[in-house]
Chains A and B, each alone.
Chain A
Amino acid sequence: MDDTGKRLAGCFQVVFPNLREAEIPSASQQTVAAWDSVAAITMMTVIEDEFALQMDLDDLADLDSFAKIHTHLQKRLQVA
């Protein structure tokens, strides 16, 4: 996993403390029961803290898995 993925995994550990490390890369709103709308917004804010960037609430609905968020962040960080 690249550095962005490792840092994102750290964000997942903070928001979903009961999620095992091995489960994080495949985590999605379908597989994680605790991933509700509140957790999704919390995740966005934790990612903003970690990566020092502004997330757009319009993207919230699309960013429903670790993989999608990872890809989104890679693009954002490349642009930056």
Chain B
Amino acid sequence: MKITEALKITQSAPANARPFCVVLACGFTPLHLQTFLSAHLQQSLPNRKVVVTPGLYGTLAEALEGTSDAAIDGIAVALEWSDLDARLDFRSAGSWGRSAAADIVANAQAMLDRLAAAISRVPSGVRVALALPTLPLPPLFHTPGWQASEHELHLESEIFGFAAGVTQSARATVINVRRLLEAPPPGPSFDLKSHLHTGLPYTTPHADKVASQLALALVPPAPKKGIISDLDDTLWNGIAGEVGPENVSWDLASHSHLHGLYQKLLASLSEHGTLVGIASKNDPRVVAQVFERKDILLRPEQVFPLEVNWNAKSGSVSRILETWNIAADSVIFVDDSPMELAEVAAVHPGIECVLFPKNDYVAGLAVLRQLRDACGKERVSSDDALRLESIRQGAAFRVRAAAAATPESFLALAEAIVTFDFGCAAEPRVLELVNKTNQFNLNGRRYTEADWRSLTSQPDPIVVSVSYEDKFGPLGTIAVVAGAVHGKRLVIETWVMSCRAFARRIEQQTLKMLFESTGAEEIDFDFVPTTKNGPLQEFFAAVTGDQPTAEFRLRRAQFDESCPDLYHAVRELRRAEAHG
């Protein structure tokens, strides 16, 4: 991004929009870093007015310590060596003499402890994005520049220890500096003249790079939910139907290890909750034989469903999306054929299509990184590990429901248990579910951590998460409701439910629980119809006998009249704690 573009973006912010306030904590004059950070955040939050304020105090540590009681949405920390000891600052007149090095390391240790303590005092819900030093150290150590000095290595070690600590405690999101420095355009990061004349040590392109990564860490994009992959010349090298299932390869000896790396990546993503499906024009028996091979790195149980047939791939993709019950824009389709990619893209315009680059190792590495970047998660929850199994279970559920004598008898015999957790507001999975659910979503509203904290700390709040399991297995946490109780009226501002949980009457059980647990006689829904929340609109139409087009009120008697029989066992958790 150029500075002109950045200024235009910041100036285009809607004047009366709700502000999104970020403190930029750095020990140098922020200048363009502040402009670029504002612009990148504004691009991510077009409906907010981004306000980036430099820390009020002189040093980075003081700036961070000054944020502990501030009403802000996030803190961006651009840490540089000079923040650890003034002698590491080119602008300082401090000595680079013989005794300096060991003293600098000791000072750095103390300063990093102070920064860690300041970060730990940042109110929960305020995101902290942390960029570790990106600039070169001054030539103050006794070794020649090509040799790493003991003290330099100690400094690096202290920095990484500090970063690992704040990451482990989930108090900050740490930028990957190696990736940042690799990002285009190539060129120097340090501008000595600018540093000495203006106080900004970054070249303009480097300021943009640091700002873009800090913005990503403050407002991360929603991860893609699934990858649909081709098989021949993509998941493996060779055409299985031609060379035989035993002769397709993905190993070093066959010079086809790029396919093995791709398999390993998909296996890893699957273990972390990304759905992996197959769309291949192939003979199902041949494919089954390949997946039976002992050396395959993506195990068959990590993939569901497999659409293997000779028809158009867009049709296979449609069926996979239907099984997963997610929209095309949450999915990546990978194939080695540009024609197949184009055919799928034409039918599913929102889908992200990625060409698998056979025999191009540079492009291959880029694709592996692209997939990890698109699907990677900050944290992996126990629900992530359940996701694929619950989809498989859901498919079995639907097959058996269709085969049952009546849908009613099937539900009655499902041995379902619905668990309501009234003390869940601070759990990361809850906000994650709110921010990624589209189809059963009361109004499509997304929340930053600060917004969520504000919503759930209003007077008489009610925040409940819903988990489900039945005899086919657990679905994990599948729904969240948040609002506030006003006497005999409950106002619901957020209600989401995972599409995996449809057709089990969990939504009715949730309303029943809300009426009973709060004593409310009516519920006000802050409902907004969106292009994606059709399933919720249908549910409301069934409950109210009408198609609401905006916020509406549901009376308890009205709900009782429309509520079908419910067969779940119901559990409540942490009710006492949640209600004090």
Contact = CB atoms under 8 A, between A and B. Distances in A.
Are A and B a genuine interacting pair, yes or no?
A: yes
A25 B194 CA distance: 28
A45 B3 contact: yes
Interface residues of B, number: 15
Interface in B140-193: 193
B31 A14 contact: no
Contacts of B381: none
A58 B2 CA distance: 22
B197 A57 contact: yes
- Contact size range, A: 10 to 19
Which of A17, A41, A57, A58 has most B Cβ within 10 Å? A41
A49 B3 contact: yes
B3 A57 contact: no
Interface in B491-536: none
A41 B204 CA distance: 11
A50 interface: yes
A46 B193 contact: no
A37 B194 CA distance: 13
Interface string B185-219: 00000000110011010001000000000000000
Contacts of B32: 41-42, 45
A11 B11 CA distance: 14
Contacts of B579: none
A50 B198 contact: no
Given A15-B7, A50-B4, A45 B197 contact: no
Contact of A57 (B2, B11, B194): B194
A79 interface: no
A60 interface: yes
Contacts of A15: 7
Contact of A46 (B7, B11, B198): B7
A38 interface: yes
Contacts of A17: 11
A77 to B, nearest CB: 18
B35 interface: yes
B3 A46 contact: yes
B294 interface: no
Interface in A14-64: 14-15, 17, 37-38, 41-42, 45-46, 48-50, 57-58, 60
Given A46-B4, A49-B3, A49-B4, A41 B31 contact: yes
Contacts of B31: 38, 41-42
Interface in B1-59: 2-4, 7-8, 11, 31-32, 35
B35 A57 contact: no
B110 to A, nearest CB: 32
B193 A49 contact: no
B7 A14 contact: yes
A46 B7 CA distance: 9
A26 to B, nearest CB: 22
A11 B5 CA distance: 11
Contacts of B4: 11, 14, 46, 49-50
Contacts of A41: 31-32, 198, 200
A1 to B, nearest CB: 19
A68 B11 CA distance: 26
Interface of A: 11, 14-15, 17, 37-38, 41-42, 45-46, 48-50, 57-58, 60
21 contacts: A14-B4, A14-B8, A15-B7, A17-B11, A37-B198, A38-B31, A41-B31, A41-B32, A42-B3, A42-B7, A42-B31, A42-B32, A42-B35, A45-B3, A45-B32, A45-B204, A48-B204, A49-B2, A49-B3, A50-B4, A57-B198
Given A41-B31, A50-B4, A57-B197, 14 more contacts: A14-B7, A14-B11, A15-B7, A41-B198, A42-B3, A42-B31, A45-B32, A46-B3, A46-B4, A46-B7, A48-B204, A49-B3, A58-B197, A60-B197
Cβ-closest 10 pairs across A and B: A57-B197, A45-B3, A49-B2, A49-B4, A14-B7, A46-B4, A17-B11, A14-B4, A41-B198, A46-B3
Interface of B: 2-4, 7-8, 11, 31-32, 35, 193-194, 197-198, 200, 204
